[in-house]
Amino acid sequence: MRGQATFVDDLAPPGCLFLCFTRSAHAGGVITRLDAEPARRSADAILTLTGAEVAALGRTSVNPLVPGLCAHPAPLLAQDRVLCLGQPVAAVVAQDRWTAMDLAESIGLEITPDLPGPREALRQSWSQGDVPAAMARADHVIAVSVQHALLAPMALEPRAALAHWDEARQVLNVWLPTQTPHRARLDLARILRLSPDQVRVIAPHVGGSFGGKASLYPEDAVVALAAIRTGRPVKWTATRSEDFLSATAGRGGRMSARLGVMADGMFMALDVEGTFPLGGWMPFSGAVPARNAGRILPGPYRIPHVDITVSAALTGHAPVGIYRGAGRPEATLLMERLVDAAARTINMDPVVLRLRNVHARTSLPSATAAGEIIDASDFPGLIRALRRRAGLSRLRREVARLRALGRLAGLGVALYAEPCGQGWESAAISLDPSGAILVATGSTSQGQGRETAAAQIAAGALGCAEARLRVVHGDTALTPEGIGALASRSTPIGGSAIVKAARIFLRKARALAATTLQAEPRSLVRNAAGWVSRTGAASLSWEALAKAAHASGVRNRGLMTEVRYEAKGEAWASGAVVATVSIDADTGVPTVGQIVWIDDAGVVINPVLLKGQLLGGLAQGLGEALMERLVHDPDGQLLTGSLMDYRVPRAADMPPSRIVSRSVPSRMNLLGAKGAGEAGCIGIPAAIVNAIHDALAPAGVSRIDMPCTAQTIWTALQAQARKGEAR
């Protein structure tokens, strides 16, 4: 940790101006007065923009992922009415951020509140078999309903944008902390009516994203427009409060399900209804959480009859987008709550019940009832490993001991299956004149160490030292058009693209080396320095090959290799988690005793980076389970607009945890890798919440929604105690 990273806010080009937004203080309504004159008249305001100035420009974009989806993109600034709390209504550019803030506050804004109520924008269903008949045949029908809190993705670095119009070249340069620079470039070009060639997006060091920086924000485009209009560099950095108010949130869905179970524990039928909030407009990936929550059910379990429906509706708060896990935590928590509730009903060990219903290792890859193909995975192996490695029976004895002492203690198990790494990614490899090998990836780094993993993957595939490699990423001018870092896809897909490019590059390099050495291509082998003939008589270093290639005058003499790699299918990561919890009966304070987690991320590239990803996800999963919640009052006002009110986990909150890798290689990509970044947010909350329900079951409490705070638990305990007294 050296403090030497350069984030967007650290960039301060000469003459840089600052932009601030005037935002809606209402969760919806009609703009009855917008008076920007105080700012326009001020000598300090270099530019003032309102909805009128941007009306003719484009809007943000929405991925039409779900058939029949009704897209609600955002205008750059509110037009006539505000769509949600925090929506930007006007922008002012000044010499410095404090002046810009004062000027933004000087703008007169009156809104007649009008909260339209939820309006459905998408709906999707998956169906197989005959659910009503199977439910009728089932010995038990278990019902579970889960309400997810709305969460803040909470990257350490808030949103920011810096833009500069290069008048001489007629190019717009935009520095954005983004997960998807190429998509941002295309969006900006379309919105601002420029050709994509005229836009360059650069993501410098990014201080975490977690889905919150996956889609272009209207603010980003306003900053770019201001740069074009002023001819000066213009920067905006969101305050933490601004991010709470107007950056995309995550989760917030309600999942209700019925599971039909036979007396011997076999799952027969699953019936699910999920409803998700969208906020006031839809970011690019707005449909993803609802769609993922539906399509990955029933997760690791074989269930012959399923009916799954998810829908999402516009609401009056900040837009909801993907957040670490994006629908998978919702599907997983639902299934794992159902399985535990079923185990309680039929009085069976929840671990045995899981073993009875999971897909067998030998039957995978295969299709789920929802029509998705689960990658090679070993669910029974994960459960057995959990039993062994976690010492499940020892943990259970400990819980029993605490219960015998009259304490509230519980143990929760969760199993998850997590599709990740779908679609394509790009990579380009070239040899520069010095003999260095440039590896450009369409994927980007958000601080999770992509550069390191990419270098390792390239060095392995090229058979050369990492010192020879230079990894280029996050700059649309220097990397081939790509997707970016999201959906746990960077290693499985982005990494495989590098492998594919490396194979082609090596073939071309071998041919060129053979020509240069006047040898047969097949007589050459690679070593760390370059190429050498099998007899050892002739050799050509990468430096010499670079000279030969560049002397020819043709760019790299054809060595430059650019590929798009498309995965065969989705890599499904999976895992099993056990958590123990004790609860203080007087205060409701829950304490996680320990977590043991067996994770299958497929072939592991870098164990240190993997551990970082898993631990980070564990922390955010813990926050979701126990602490985090964005709260709005009935008028739609945000009550948790700062870190004083929105509780994120801190180092001291981390429970003792053990993470064990147990890899089954993916069959879906060249590396055999699966995703890892989101796993912690998927498996950890389900295990903790199951442990809390296990602890509270003896007290008669059967439903606690996340975050399972002391207050929520205490209130539920009190309600049960009153019920007991009434009897």
Residue numbers at the binding site for ligand SMO (CB under 6 A): 179, 209-211, 214, 322-324, 326, 486-487
**Residue closer to ligand SMO, measured from CB, 51 or 289:** 289
- The least distance separating ligand SMO from the CB of residue 488, rounded to whole angstroms, comes to 7
- The least distance separating ligand SMO from the CB of residue 323, rounded to whole angstroms, comes to 5
**Residue closer to ligand SMO, measured from CB, 75 or 294:** 294
**Residue closer to ligand SMO, measured from CB, 211 or 482:** 211
**Residue closer to ligand SMO, measured from CB, 307 or 628:** 628
**Segments of 192-336 assigned E as strands:** 199-202, 234-237, 250-251, 254-261, 267-279, 305-314
- The least distance separating ligand SMO from the CB of residue 291, rounded to whole angstroms, comes to 12
CA dihedral sign, ordered 462, 468, 473, 478: negative
Within 10 angstroms of residue 400's Cβ, the number of other Cβ atoms is: 12
Please answer whether residues 187 and 62 qualify as being in contact, where contact means their C-beta atoms are separated by less than 8 angstroms.
no
Find the helix packing angle between 710-726 and 679-696, rounded to 10°: 30
Q: What's the distance, CA 292 to chain centroid? A: 12
**Residue closer to ligand SMO, measured from CB, 250 or 265:** 250
Q: What's the distance, CA 692 to chain centroid? A: 26
- The least distance separating ligand SMO from the CB of residue 250, rounded to whole angstroms, comes to 7
- The least distance separating ligand SMO from the CB of residue 19, rounded to whole angstroms, comes to 26
C-alpha to C-alpha distance for 369 and 129, rounded to whole angstroms: 9
**Residue closer to ligand SMO, measured from CB, 99 or 444:** 444
- The least distance separating ligand SMO from the CB of residue 249, rounded to whole angstroms, comes to 12
**Residue closer to ligand SMO, measured from CB, 211 or 300:** 211
Q: What's the distance, CA 377 to chain centroid? A: 22
Element (H, E) at 453: helix 450-462
Tokens of 72: 């609600």
- The least distance separating ligand SMO from the CB of residue 281, rounded to whole angstroms, comes to 18
- The least distance separating ligand SMO from the CB of residue 134, rounded to whole angstroms, comes to 34
**Residue closer to ligand SMO, measured from CB, 464 or 609:** 609
**Residue closer to ligand SMO, measured from CB, 324 or 354:** 324
Please answer whether residues 659 and 594 qualify as being in contact, where contact means their C-beta atoms are separated by less than 8 angstroms.
no
Please answer whether residues 9 and 619 qualify as being in contact, where contact means their C-beta atoms are separated by less than 8 angstroms.
no
**Residue closer to ligand SMO, measured from CB, 419 or 530:** 419
How many degrees, rounded to 5, is the angle at CA 562 between CA 557 and CA 567?
150
- The least distance separating ligand SMO from the CB of residue 630, rounded to whole angstroms, comes to 16
- The least distance separating ligand SMO from the CB of residue 212, rounded to whole angstroms, comes to 8
C-alpha to C-alpha distance for 562 and 299, rounded to whole angstroms: 36
* C-beta nearest to ligand SMO: residue: 211
Strand partners, 30: 81, 112
Please answer whether residues 570 and 493 qualify as being in contact, where contact means their C-beta atoms are separated by less than 8 angstroms.
no
Label residues 173-193 b or e (16+ Cβ within 10 Å = b).
bbbbbbbbbbbbbbbbbbbbe
Q: Could you write out the three-class secondary structure of 628-656?
A: CCECECCCCCECCCCCCCCCCCCHHHCCC
- The least distance separating ligand SMO from the CB of residue 521, rounded to whole angstroms, comes to 42
**Residue closer to ligand SMO, measured from CB, 270 or 454:** 454
- The least distance separating ligand SMO from the CB of residue 303, rounded to whole angstroms, comes to 26
Q: What letter would DSSP give residue 490?
A: I
Q: Could you write out the three-class secondary structure of 304-330?
A: CEEEEEEEEEECCCCCECCCCCCCHHH
Please answer whether residues 216 and 201 qualify as being in contact, where contact means their C-beta atoms are separated by less than 8 angstroms.
no
Please answer whether residues 31 and 111 qualify as being in contact, where contact means their C-beta atoms are separated by less than 8 angstroms.
yes
- The least distance separating ligand SMO from the CB of residue 209, rounded to whole angstroms, comes to 6
Q: What's the distance, CA 70 to chain centroid? A: 23
Q: Could you tell me if residue 501 is left (phi over 0), alpha (psi between -120 and 50 degrees) or otherwise beta?
A: alpha
C-alpha to C-alpha distance for 122 and 69, rounded to whole angstroms: 5
**Residue closer to ligand SMO, measured from CB, 152 or 342:** 152
**Residue closer to ligand SMO, measured from CB, 276 or 323:** 323
